Amino acid sequence: MIERYFIVNPKAKNGQCLRVWGEVEEHLQKLGIAYKVYFTEYAGQATQIASTIISATSNQSIFIVVVGGDGTLHEVANGVAGHLNVSLGFIPGGSGNDFSRGFEIPRSPIEALETILKKHEPIVIDTGRVRTKESEAYFVNNMGVGFDAAICKSANQSKLKAKLNSVSLGGLVYVLILLKLLFTYKCTKMTIFIDGQKREFANVWFATIANQVYFGGGMKIAPHALPMDGELDVIVVHNLSRWKLLLVFASVFWGGHTNFKEVHFYKGKRISIQTENQVFTHADGEVIGTTPINVEVVENSLHILAGKSED
């Protein structure tokens, strides 16, 4: 018998995730499906809960379903990655939900739950693993160095985000912070090694390493990224004026940034980044440290229950 566990972040989207869980729980009870639920109370606890569940169930096949945002998914994935007896599901309850976009998970809580319940075989995907001098973390969507990490840091500390989430405009905080940092952020020189090949860039705004297409609440940062290809996509943005950077960000939503000569794309299995000035690093929108960093793809390391197939 496969056990079903739900890890719910009641604070996601300024508490609106509790309403999402209420719909899911009512539907589970209607169907007569047995489950266990855990609620997170602080940052990092979802990783601990997932690890505890796995330890208690030994090698038994289990479902762990995240009800929350990409941050909660990131935490659970860090407890689950590499445990191939665990299938990970996701019911969107946050403000960004890039994971659900990338894997065609319905926005409706009930439809997302039905997708999980009907999925007989999980999709096997790669993850990325990033090491900084401060920490080590897996990422499912993407990680970034520089300007985007600075935006994540400010957004996660912003009191305005909670207020905007209360009126379903949480994603707007990233735009406001972007505009604020646009005039104060200092670009840096980057040296990037991709599978041993050295590349140097001056005046870098940011470098993103992506496992799937979306980041930042729907931006198609890596239009050709495939989470099953054994590689990570590397995007470097440099030598742009502040105003032209705004055009790049505006065009990312439909992938138009691929036409800018200042935006470079690569693929690789192992990436290291060194910067002239120390800058922040994020993984799936969570700040995890500062440069330098080392990144590698971890192939076939996560089983997910989602709508998208490998075909």
Q: Are strands 36-39 and 3-8 parallel, antiparallel or unpaired?
A: parallel
* Mean pLDDT of the region 99-118: 92
Name residues whose C-beta falls within 8 Å of residue 29's C-beta, 6 or more positions apart in sequence.
none
Name residues whose C-beta falls within 8 Å of residue 156's C-beta, 6 or more positions apart in sequence.
285, 286, 287
Report pLDDT for 167: 52
Would you state the torsion angle of the CA atoms of residues 177, 183, 186, 188, taken in this order, to the nearest 10 degrees?
Answer: 90
pTM value is 0.91
Report pLDDT for 165: 54
Report pLDDT for 159: 65
Q: Sign of the C-alpha dihedral, residues 101, 102, 106, 112?
A: negative
* Mean pLDDT of the region 3-17: 89
Question: Per residue in 283-300, pLDDT tens?
Answer: 998 999 999 999 999 999
pLDDT score of 59 more than 90: no
Q: Which domains does the chain have, with CATH numbers?
A: 3-121 (3.40.50.10330), 129-299 (2.60.200.40)
What's the Cα-to-Cα distance from 299 to each of 32, 263, 270, 304, rounded to whole Å? 36, 27, 12, 14
Question: Per residue in 22-55, pLDDT tens?
Answer: 999 999 999 999 999 999 999 999 999 999 999 9
Q: Is the peptide bond before 122 cis (omega within 30 degrees of 0)?
A: no
Please give the DSSP secondary-structure letter assigned to residue 183.
T
* Mean pLDDT of the region 199-226: 94
pLDDT score of 126 more than 80: yes
Report pLDDT for 119: 82
Please give the DSSP secondary-structure letter assigned to residue 172.
H
Highest average pLDDT, of 57-66, 114-123, 130-139, comes from 130-139
* Mean pLDDT of the region 260-287: 96
Query: If you average pLDDT over every residue of the chain, what do you get?
Result: 90
* Mean pLDDT of the region 142-159: 86
Report pLDDT for 309: 43
Percent of the chain with pLDDT over 90: 72
